[in-house]
Structures are given as C-alpha cells and as structure tokens.
Amino acid sequence: QSVVTQPPSTSGTPGQRVSISCSGSSSNIGSNIVNWYQQFPGTAPKLLIYSNNQRPSGVPDRFSGSKSGTSASLAISGLQSEDEADYYCAAWDDNLNGYVFGTGTKVTVL
Amino acid sequence: MQLVESGGGLVQPGGSLRLSCAASSSAFSNYEMNWVRQAPGKGLEWISYINRSGRSPSYADSVMGRFTISRDNAKNALYLQMGSLRAEDTAVYYCTTGNRRQPLVLWGQGTLVTVSS
C-alpha cells in the first residue's frame, strides 16, 4: 500500500507562519494533483486546497499550497487560533486506483 | 447536493453490515463516489471508489474481497456492503465525491461502525 508521510504535529503562536510537508511517490503526488483537507474533532474533513495550490471559495488566503516532484506543502501564514485542527494531504494513486491520504498533521496554536 | 450516511452500528466480528449514502439531488448521477473511513483517534483512510455508471470499482487492500461498493442512480444512493468484519474495521465511514482529477469535495457527516463482541 502506498504511503504518504506528514509530520505528526507542528505548532506556532498567533501571527506566525507554519508549514506542513507531505512526501509521497511517483504513483501519487508525482503523477497527480494534491489536495489538502482541514478537520476539526468530530466533524467531516473540509477541502482546503485543491489542484496543488487553489483555494475553494471561502478559504482565507493565509492558506497556500505548493507541489514539487513527489512532495507538497501547506503553509499557514498569520496563524490564528481557529486554525488549530488536523490537516491531511491527499492525492490519487495510479497503482491503487484510488486516493491515498497523508498520515495527518495536528496544528496547535500556542 | 448534500450527502447523508446511515446504517452504522454495533456488529460482532465476522458479521456483515450495509452502509448507505443518500444524496439530496439527482445531480448524484454526475459524481464519481468514494468511501473513506477514520478509525478512532486515527487518520483518514480511502477504502473504495466507483464511477458514475457503477462500474470499475476499486478497493484498498485492507478491505479487498470483504467489502463491495455499489450505487443506484435512480435512488440517488451509494452503498457499501461490508462482510467478514474485524475489530480493525471500527471507524467512522464517510461517503464523498471525487475522482482522479476532482478532489473529494462533498462529504457526508459520517456513520460509526463498531466491530466488537
């Protein structure tokens, strides 16, 4: 089974910039678009970034995404308390013929 | 379009359960669908995909041969037939739209499946 790796956790103070890495392989991130999801406890995930770096309507511009080769990253600039949540990257995997999610990163606002 | 899952509950190991995902509009037939699950305190795991016509299903290795995805576009419904259930299948199960080129955009609220004796 394909594995996409994220750091388990990261933290920052309000106003700081934090970044989350997402490392995959040629069959997923290397071949397909990357999407990012934000999830609060007890709720369904919400699409945060799609097509590597696009924000759906309503997502603040302090969230940004990028991709290079088999890795991607999510940046949150001007961190706010309401950004404290779990974040997952995801990409279609051509070997799996399905999605593979990153291991997830918990963002804590100190 | 909104999605609402149902059918979760407590089931014994080795048992079966059928989950349903009801869509609120006939636009359902235009979407390719997936099931994603999340074990308690764990991350998201994609488990199955089906195209708009109900063909070409795919499965994660963890459920291959035990779970079957299907859909009924006339009823605006997606299903997941789960068999030979194990403790490790305990999770919240979400239905969600998306395919290789489209992100998983619309999500239901999830339904909890607990496999325990």
With 70 as the cut, is the pLDDT of residue A105 above it?
Answer: yes
Q: Which residues pair with A38 in a beta bridge?
A: A46, A87
Which whole number is the average pLDDT over B51-58? 93
Q: Which of A47, A97, A98 sits opposite B103 (nearest CB)?
A: A47
* Buried b / exposed e along A33-69 (16+ C-beta atoms within 10 A): bbbbbbbeeeebbbbbbbebeebeeebeeebbbebee
pLDDT tens figures, B72-90: 999 999 999 999 999 999 9
Q: Which of A47, A97, A104 sits opposite B43 (nearest CB)?
A: A104
CA distances A108 to A85, A86, B104, Å, are 7, 9, 25
pLDDT confidence band for A1 (50 / 70 / 90): low
With 70 as the cut, is the pLDDT of residue B54 above it?
Answer: yes
pLDDT tens figures, B9-40: 999 999 999 999 999 999 999 999 999 999 99
Mutate to test the interface with A, among B5, B32, B44 (most CBs of A within 10 A): B44
Q: Residue A101 and residue B99: Cβ atoms within 8 Å?
A: no
With 80 as the cut, is the pLDDT of residue B69 above it?
Answer: yes
Is the separation of the CB atoms in B38 and B95 below 8 Å?
A: no
Question: Chains A and B: how many Cβ contacts under 8 Å?
Answer: 67
pLDDT tens figures, A9-60: 999 999 999 999 999 999 999 999 999 999 999 999 999 999 999 999 999 9
What pLDDT is stored for residue B10 in this prediction? 98
What pLDDT is stored for residue A56 in this prediction? 96
Find chain B residues with C-beta within 8 A of A90's C-beta: 44, 46, 103-104
Kindly provide the residue ranges of all beta strands, DSSP E only, lying in B62-117, ordered along the sequence: 67-72, 77-82, 91-97, 111-115
One-letter amino acid of A87: Y
Percent of residues, chain B, with pLDDT higher than 70: 100
Q: Which helix (H) or strand (E) holds A37?
A: strand A34-39
pLDDT confidence band for B56 (50 / 70 / 90): confident
Q: What is the largest CA-CA distance in chain B?
A: 41
pLDDT confidence band for A95 (50 / 70 / 90): very high
What pLDDT is stored for residue A31 in this prediction? 96
